[in-house]
Amino acid sequence: MATLYGHTDSVNMANFTNDGKSVVSISSDSSLRCWNVLNGKEKCVTKGRNFHTGEILSLSLHDSRSLALTGGNDNIYCLSNYEDGNVYNYSKVFEGSVEGTCFSKMLIYKK
């Protein structure tokens, strides 16, 4: 068992990727981090401009792509790539926090 260091505030959720090689975590520090399971090293960090500005509360990982859908108490949802940190969609459209996210099996996303 390894301790994963990097978040500067509470970790709110963590999920294994489908291949079991990585763990993706979200935090109250407004960041999403991807970790290598075998060596415990951080692979990628997503934070800052065009991402969350407050606590991230929800995380969903796509079944076959390196996509993360996150929601937070900043009224924002984001679609990002947890392997390279790119943010594809950033929207502040809700009143109140975004406390749940999920992917549809029918998702077709073209880059």
Rounded Cα–Cα distance for residues 61 and 87 (Å): 14
* pTM for the structure as a whole: 0.89
Nearest Cα neighbor of 101 from 11, 12, 23 is 12
Rounded Cα–Cα distance for residues 69 and 100 (Å): 10
Radius of gyration of the chain (CA): 13
Geometric angle at alpha carbon 63, from 50 and 31, rounded to 5°? 30
What pLDDT shows up at residue 34? 98
The low-confidence residues of the chain, meaning pLDDT below 50, are none
What pLDDT shows up at residue 17? 96
What pLDDT shows up at residue 55? 96
